[in-house]
Amino acid sequence: MSPLLVAAIALITYGSRAAALAILPRPSGRLEVVLGRMPAPIFASLATLTLITEEGAPTGGPILVASLGALLVSPKRSLAVSLVGGIVGFAVGTLLF
């Protein structure tokens, strides 16, 4: 993956989020409650798939430690902080395994 592609993906991701925060009104009532609860289950389902190999066995040590690192910082409710936690966890897992 080229640095230009990564920059384009980041610009689209964060640009669309910033635009939504600036343009769209804040949801209210029940819709706000539903939207506030959705990201965690969606993230959990995606994260779970990365922890299991195609054969159904647990994945390797560095990935497990990376997921633990992201999980430890998840109460901050920040994607950037979770990514950093995962990267640090992966680096530690690589050193350990």
DSSP SS3 for 92: helix
For residue 71, how many other CB atoms are within 10 A of its CB?
A: 15
* Predicted TM-score (pTM) of this structure: 0.55
Query: Residue 56: which region, alpha, beta or left (left: phi > 0; alpha: psi -120 to 50)?
Result: left
Determine the pLDDT at residue 40: 66
pLDDT tens-digit profile, the chain (97 residues): 788 888 888 888 888 777 777 787 877 888 778 767 766 677 677 777 888 888 888 888 898 999 899 889 888 877 788 889 999 999 999 999 8
Determine the pLDDT at residue 45: 75
In the chain, where are the structural domains located?
A: 1-36, 38-97
